[in-house]
Structure 1
Amino acid sequence: MESFKHIFYDFLVNKGISNEAAAYLNMVMLLLVLIIIIFIVDFLIRRILISAFTQFAVRSKTNFDDLLLTNKVPRNVAHIIPLLIALEFVPDVFADFGSFEFVVEKGLKVFAIVLTLWIVRSLLNTLKDYLKTLPRLKDKPIDSYIQVFMIFAWLGGIMSAIAIITDIPFLKFLTGLGAISAVVILVFKDTILGFVASIQVSINDMVRIGDWITFEKYGADGDVTEINLATVKVQNWDKTITTIPTYALISDSFKNWRGMTNSGGRRIKRALHLKQESIKYLTVEEVDSLKKIQLISPYLESRQKDINVFNTDIKADKSLLLNGRNLTNIGIFRKYVQTYIEKHSAINKDMTIMVRQLAPTTQGLPIEIYAFSSDKRWANYEYIMADIFDHMIAATRYFDLEIFELPTGSSFSQQQ
C-alpha cells in the first residue's frame, strides 16, 4: 500500500521533477484515478441495481417495488459503495498532505449524512405513495407525518454535519443546543402547530383528501387535494387553488360537505316571499274553480266536505266569510306545492319533504320549500331547484297570490 501512495512520485522524481512538485502531481494524479474508479464503480453498481429492481418489479404482484424505482431508491443506494471506496483510499491519496486529507474526509462524512437523508427520503416517499394506494388510507394526511419525520431527520443531519465540521462531540453539541431551544421553537412554531393540527384532523376525521369544504375566511370553496404539514390545498370550483394553514382547520370554523355527499340527497332550502295583502278567504265558487287543478282536486273535495259539515254543525253565518271555517288561497297554494314536491321525480322521497310558512317579514310572508334532490351533482342540483321554483313562481297567479318585489322605476310610471 505504501508503494501505491507514491506510485507516480518515484516516476516523476526520476524524470527530474523536484520533490515538492512531484508530491503535488502525485496527489493530483492519484485523485484523478480515484475519481475515475469511483465514477465507473458507481455507474456499474447503479446499472446492476436498477436492472435487478426492474426485473423484480416486473415479476412481483405488488406495486411497492415499482414505487421504489420511481422514487430512485436503487439509484441512491448505489452511491454507498463508491462512497466507502472514497473514504478508504482518500488517506492514501493525500498521504503527504494532511490538511487536505482532513478537509476531504470531513466533506465525505458530511456527504455520507446527506446520502443517508436522500435514501431515507426516498424510502419514506415510496412508503407514502404506497399507503395512498390503499383504500382506507388514501384520504388520510400521510404527507404531514412524512414531513414531520423528515424535518427531524434533516435537523439531526444538520446537527451531525455541524458536529463533524467543528469537531464537537455530538452529545455535547446537543447539550449546547438545549440553550437555544426557545429560539428553535419560535422558528418552527408553524411546523409544530401544523403537526398538532394534522394529528387532530386525522384522529377526529375532520377533513379527508377529496372532501368538499367551504372556508369563507380564506375564500376556499372546493375539493381538498392535498393535506401537508403546514398547508391544506383546496381546488376551488373555478379551478383556482386556495392554500389554508393546517392549524386553521382546528382554530377556525369551516363547512365540510362530506355528510351531504354521503347522504341520499342534497338539501333544497329556499323560500318564496308572497305579498300579505294578496292573502284571502276563498268563496265556494273560487274553490270550485281551483278544483280544476288536478294535483289538489281530491284534497279540495275532501276538505270542503269536512268544512261544510263543521259549519253546518255550528250554524255559521256564511254571509260573512270570516265566520266558521274557510279555505284560504295561501293554504291551498301551500298544499299544492307540498303535493308537487312529493310527486317530483328528482326529489328523494326517503328524506324530509316539507313546505312551511315562516314568520312574516317586511318583504312579505315566506313560504319555504325544504326537501332533498336525489342528484347531488352541483349543476344538476341547481337545475332541479330552478325547475321547481320556475313552476312555483308561475303557479302563484292561479291562486290570486302575488310575489313580493321592491318597486322599480317602471312601477312608479305605471301608477302615474
Structure 2
Amino acid sequence: MGWLQVHQVIFSLVDIILLVLAAGTANWVIKRVLVRGLHKMMRSAAVGQAIARSRVVSRSANIIPALIIAVGIVWIPNLPEALVTVVRNVAHGFIVLTAGLAIAAALDIVNDVWQQRPDAHRRPIKGYVQVVKIVIYIIATILVIATLMDRSPVILLSGIGAMAAVLMLIFQDTLLSLVASVQISSNDIIRVGDWIEVPQLNADGFVIDIALHTVKVQNWDKTITTIPTKRFITDSFKNWRGMFESGGRRIKRSIFIDQNSIHFLTPEELEHLQQFNLLGDYLKKKQEELDEWNRALGEKGRKPLNTRRITNIGTFRAYVEQYLKNHPHVHQEMLMVVRQQNLSAEGIPLEIWCFTNTTVFVQYEAIQSDIFDHLLAIMPEFGLRVFQSPSGADFQALRPLTEAS
C-alpha cells in the first residue's frame, strides 16, 4: 500500500512537471516565434507600430499558458480537490486580468491611431480612453475577486450597490474630470498645441497633452505645469488660438511725449516737414481746411490767437498713421489706431494700436521694435521729446549751474 502511494505521488509530480513544461513551451513558442513574427510583419504600418508599442499581442499571448494550466490541472490524478480548485481559480483569475490589460492596451492603440489624424488636436480622445480603461479595470477586478473566491460576480455587484456613496467619494475627482473633459472637447475650449495663459497657476505656454485628470502645459522656460482638467471649467484662462488663426498679432504700446515740447508749427518747420513723403498730402489738406476756417473769422482771423494752426503733435500723429499704413509688415486689413490718451504726470501717451502680419513670436518682436525704433528716432524732426523721469546724471548736470549761481 505504501509502495502504491509513493508511485502515485511520483506520477502526480511528473504530471505537474509536464504540465508546467507544456505551459512554458507554449509561452516560449508564442512569444519567441508568433509574437516576434507578427511585430516584424507590422512594423511597416503605422497601426502595426502602435500595436507593437502597446504590447497588446504579447499580453494576449499570456492567456494560452494560463489556459493550459487551468485545463490540465483537472486531469492530473490524485491531487487534493482544494489544491486543484485554488490552481484553477488562480489561472482563471490570471486569464481575466491578462484579458483586461490586453483590452486596455488595445484602447491605447486606438488613441495612438487617432492622434495621427490631422484634426486629432481639435478632438482629443485620450480622456475618454482613460475613462473606458478605468471601467475595464473595475470590471476585471470584480471578476478576478469573484474567480478567486469561486463565487458569482453578481454577489459582489449587489454589495457594490450599497457602497455607491463611498465609491462616489472615491471617484469624485474622476467624475469631475470626466465631465470637464466632455465639456472641453464638445465646446472646443482647448486643443493640443494651443498657447494658453493661466496666471493663477503660473502657467504660460503650449498645451502638450490633454488627459482625463490633467492637462500638461510646457511653459516658455521649458518647464512643465500640470493643471487639473476640471480647472479649465471652473477657472478663467486665456487661449491665444484666435490670434494664431487670425494671422495677425496686436501691437499696443504708447510713447510718452513731453508736454513742454508741444507747440504750433512755424513756417520754417512746416516747410521742413513738407519734404516728408508721408506728410505731403496731409499737410496740404490740413492747411486748406485751416485756411477756410480762418477766413470765415473775418477780421478776428488776423490775430493768431483766434486762428487754428497746425501742431507738431498732430502732424506727428498723422505721420505715424501713414507710416503704419505703408509698413510692409503691418496687417492692413485689421484695426489700426493712433490716439492720444489722458494726460498724466509722465507726459501725453500716444498709443499705437495695430497688428503685424505674422504671429511668429521672434518676428513679431522684431517688427514691433523696428517700428518704435524709427518713431523714437524721428520725433526730434517734429520738435518733440520723449518724456523721461530725471536720473542721477540729470541732477549732476544741474550741479555746476547751481554752484555758479
Per the alignment, residue 402 of structure 2 pairs with: none
- Correspondence 1:299-338 to 2 at 5 A: 299-315=282-298, 317=300, 321-338=304-321
| Aligned partners of 2:248 and 2:359 also within 8 Å | yes
Q: CA deviation at 1:107?
A: 1.3
Alignment of 1:115-264 (within 5 A): 115-264=98-247
Paired residue for 1:378?
A: 361
Aligned-partner Cα distance in 2 for 1:194–1:94: 54
Aligned to 2:16: 31
Query: CA offset at residue 156 of structure 1?
Result: 1.3
Please give the per-residue CA displacement for 1:185-236, whole angstroms capped at 9, x wherever unaligned: 2122211111111100000001111111111111111111100000001111
Consecutive unaligned residues in structure 2, runs of 5 or more = 400-405
In structure 2, relative to structure 1, the CA distance for the partners of 1:215 and 1:155 (3 Å cut) is same
Residue pair 2:251, 2:353 contacting (<8 A) in 1 also: yes
In structure 2, the residue matched to 1:7 is none
Give the Å deviation of 1:380: 0.9
SS at match of 2:387: coil
1:98 CA displacement: 2.1
Q: Distance in 1 between matches of 2:131 and 2:3?
A: 58
- Greater shift, 375-384 or 63-72, is seen at 63-72
Unaligned runs of 5+ in 1: 1-9
Give 1:220's aligned amino acid: A
Equivalences for 1:15-54 in 2 at 5 Å? 19=5, 23-50=8-35, 53-54=38-39
- Residue type of the alignment partner of 1:323: N
Rounded to whole Å, the distance in 1 between the matches of 2:332 and 2:256 is 25
More displaced 10-residue stretch of structure 1: 210-219 or 63-72: 63-72
Change in 2 beyond 3 A, CA 1:86/1:253: same
Residue 345 of structure 1 deviates from its aligned partner by 1.2
Q: How far apart are 1:338 and its partner, in Å?
A: 0.7
The answer on whether the counterparts of 1:49 and 1:74 sit within 8 Å (CA) in structure 2 is no
Task: Normalising by structure 1, report the TM-score.
Answer: 0.89
Give the 3-state SS of the residue equivalent to 1:322 in structure 2.
helix
Distance 1:122 1:36 in 2: 28
**CA offsets, 1:85-132, max 9 Å, x none?**
111111234742222222212211221121111210121111111111
**Preserved CA contact (<8 Å) 1:281 1:321:** no
Give aligned-pair identity as a percent: 35
Letter paired with 2:132: F
Once residues 318 and 407 of structure 1 are traced to their aligned partners in structure 2, the CA distance between those partners, rounded to angstroms, is 41
Contact 2:121 2:193 in 1 (8 A): no
Structure-2 separation of matches of 1:264 and 1:28: 77
**2:163 is paired with a residue of what secondary structure?**
helix
Pairwise CA distance, 1:29: 3.2
Q: Against the structure 1 CA distance between its residues 321 and 38, is the aligned structure 2 distance closer, same or farther, given a 3 Å change threshold? A: farther
Query: Shift of residue 269 of structure 1?
Result: 1.0
- Do the aligned partners of 1:49 and 1:75 also contact (CA within 8 Å) in 2? no
Which residue in the other structure is 1:266 paired with? 249
Task: Indicate if the aligned counterparts of 2:123 and 2:191 stay in contact, CA closer than 8 A.
Answer: yes
Alignment partner, residue 396 of structure 2: 413
Distance 2:275 2:245 in 1: 41
Q: Deviations over 1:266-312 (max 9, x none)?
A: 11111112222322222333222222333213321332233123212
Asked whether the 8 Å contact 2:67–2:91 carries over to 1, the reply is: no
Q: How far is 1:23 from its partner?
A: 5.0
The CA RMSD over aligned residues, in Å, is: 2.3
State how 1:357-372 maps to structure 2 within 5 Å: 357-372=340-355
Q: 2:268 aligns with which of 265, 285, 299?
A: 285
Distance, in Å, in 2 between the alignment partners of 1:402 and 1:42 is: 85
Tell me the CA shift for residue 413 of structure 1. 2.5
Q: How many angstroms does 1:264 deviate by?
A: 2.2
Letter of the structure 2 residue corresponding to residue 35 of structure 1: V
* In 1: Cα distance, 2:302 partner to 2:249 partner: 48
